[in-house]
């Protein structure tokens, strides 16, 4: 059964020779708020435990989601081998100084109750904060690769010029760039820049936080194919070779979002014009985002 589940989800090759399951489970807001409390961890662990039970083997968390503890508790309770679950977490905006990168990574391992993290991302570049020193933040993150507690390092919300800058400064290419992408916001410049560097694209808020589900073209394709709008959108990502981790707290939706590999969208479906350009962006613009939790 385990082999069957693991075989269903394709792996995407990373530029350092490692792989990542293309479909994962997003943990932002699976608990009532971002507070790191035992009560929140118990709620998150129950929902994430359901995801593992369904067959999800890739979990996306972050220092600033407050869900690292719940992720760790769910993995521990699942009985799965540690290497059967791919765990991504992200550096909080408050932790960009090199000393804070190192200290907070130690705390992250503690929170997760793990000895090793599969992927650690710089959550936001914050070009208007820290005197724009995200290059030194990136250098400190890549130094974590040396002692085996971190398997891969990547970035999130990086625009083309941000990628150029850290690669020029360190020579180390991130393995992924986790950026906002969904059918109404194809984020072409950041996707193409990532691919040019050999960086895999992770699409955050793959369902546009639910806002894209009512798009009339998506609804029509869903009716034609006998699938739900969520499945159509997630399959669109899969065929674009995006890595995705939709979030839901409802068991039925979590199951539905996992069933993406028994159908295909046609060339015409994939060519349907859905992109609204910059107007389709839902989240903040990484060039100006400066939120400090
Ligand atoms: P999402 O696009 O996954 O949408 C989630 C929402 O869609 C749910 O709350 C629910 O309302 C709806 N939904 C989910 N499945 C559904 C279904 N089958 N049918 C109907 N409605 C359904 O939004 P998200 O949680 O913002 O993004 C997913 C993950 O991406 C997050 O959990 C997080 O891990 C990551 N993320 C990262 C960043 C970043 O800056 N790196 C930002 C946002 C999110």
Does the Cβ of 93 fall within 6 Å of ligand 1?
no
Separation of CA 206 and ligand 1 centre (Å): 6
pLDDT in tens, 78-102: 999 999 999 999 999 999 999 999 9
Does the Cβ of 26 fall within 6 Å of ligand 1?
yes
Count of domains forming the chain: 1
Residue 5 pLDDT grade (very low, low, confident, very high; cuts 50, 70, 90): low
Of 20, 23, 24, 26, the residue with max ligand 1 atoms within 8 A of its CB, to mutate for a pocket test, comes to: 26
Residue 254 resides in a domain: yes
How confident is the model at residue 293, as a pLDDT?
84
Residue 56 resides in a domain: yes
Does the Cβ of 28 fall within 6 Å of ligand 1?
yes
Averaged pLDDT for residues 37-56: 97
Q: What are the structure tokens assigned to 145, written together?
A: 């690769």
Residue 290 resides in a domain: no
For the cut 80, the answer to whether the pLDDT of residue 150 exceeds it is yes
Q: Is 3 left (phi over 0), alpha (psi -120 to 50) or beta?
A: alpha
Task: Kindly give the residue spans of alpha helices, DSSP state H, lying in 144-258.
Answer: 160-170, 188-196, 216-225, 229-239, 251-258
Residue 288 resides in a domain: no
The sign of the dihedral angle between the CA atoms of 145, 147, 151, 156 is negative
> Given the CA of residue 256, which atom of ligand 1 is nearest to it?
18
Domain region containing 78: 2-280
Does the Cβ of 286 fall within 6 Å of ligand 1?
no
Catalytic status, residue 134: no
Separation of CA 27 and ligand 1 centre (Å): 8
Residue 17 resides in a domain: yes
Is residue 208 a contact partner of residue 182, using CB atoms and an 8 Å limit? Answer: yes
Does the Cβ of 246 fall within 6 Å of ligand 1?
yes
Separation of CA 254 and ligand 1 centre (Å): 11
Q: How far apart are CA 38 and CA 35, in angstroms?
A: 9
pLDDT in tens, 152-204: 999 999 999 999 999 999 999 999 999 999 999 999 999 999 999 999 999 99
Indicate the length of the chain as a whole number.
Answer: 293
> Given the CA of residue 210, which atom of ligand 1 is nearest to it?
7
> Given the CA of residue 156, which atom of ligand 1 is nearest to it?
41
Residue 222 resides in a domain: yes
pTM over 0.95: yes
Residue 162 resides in a domain: yes
For the cut 60, the answer to whether the pLDDT of residue 266 exceeds it is yes
Does the Cβ of 24 fall within 6 Å of ligand 1?
no
Separation of CA 146 and ligand 1 centre (Å): 33
> Given the CA of residue 61, which atom of ligand 1 is nearest to it?
34
Separation of CA 170 and ligand 1 centre (Å): 32
Q: How far is CA 95 from the centre of its chain?
A: 19
Separation of CA 106 and ligand 1 centre (Å): 28
Q: How many CB atoms are located within 10 Å of the residue 7 CB?
A: 9
pLDDT exceeding 70 applies to what percent of the chain? 98
Which CATH number characterizes residue 274's domain? 3.20.20.100
Residue 69 resides in a domain: yes
Does the Cβ of 208 fall within 6 Å of ligand 1?
yes
Averaged pLDDT for residues 41-57: 98
């Amino acid at each position: 059964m385990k082999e069957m589940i693991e075989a269903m989800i394709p792996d995407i090759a990373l530029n350092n020779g490692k792989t990542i399951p293309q479909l994962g489970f997003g943990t932002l807001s699976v608990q009532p708020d971002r507070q790191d409390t035992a009560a929140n961890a118990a709620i998150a662990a129950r929902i994430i435990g359901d995801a593992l039970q369904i067959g999800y083997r890739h979990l996306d968390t972050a220092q600033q989601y407050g869900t690292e503890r719940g992720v760790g508790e769910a993995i521990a309770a699942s009985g799965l081998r540690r290497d059967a679950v791919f765990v991504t977490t992200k550096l909080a905006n408050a932790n960009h100084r090199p000393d804070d990168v190192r200290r907070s990574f130690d705390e992250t391992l503690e929170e997760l109750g793990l000895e090793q993290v599969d992927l650690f991302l710089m959550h936001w570049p914050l070009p208007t904060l820290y005197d724009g020193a995200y290059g030194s933040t990136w250098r400190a993150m890549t130094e974590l690769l040396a002692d085996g507690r971190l398997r891969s390092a990547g970035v999130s919300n990086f625009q083309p010029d941000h990628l150029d800058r850290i690669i020029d400064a360190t020579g180390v290419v991130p393995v992924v760039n986790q950026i906002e992408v969904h059918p109404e916001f194809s984020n072409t410049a950041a996707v193409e820049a990532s691919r040019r560097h050999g960086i895999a694209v992770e699409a955050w808020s793959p369902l546009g936080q639910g806002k894209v589900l009512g798009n009339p073209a998506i609804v029509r394709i869903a009716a034609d194919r006998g699938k739900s709008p969520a499945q159509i959108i997630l399959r669109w990502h899969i065929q674009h070779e995006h890595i995705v981790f939709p979030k839901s707290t409802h068991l039925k939706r979590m199951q539905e979002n996992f069933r993406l590999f028994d159908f295909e969208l046609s060339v015409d479906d994939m060519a349907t014009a859905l992109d609204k350009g910059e107007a389709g962006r839902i989240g903040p613009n990484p060039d100006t985002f400066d939120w400090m939790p």
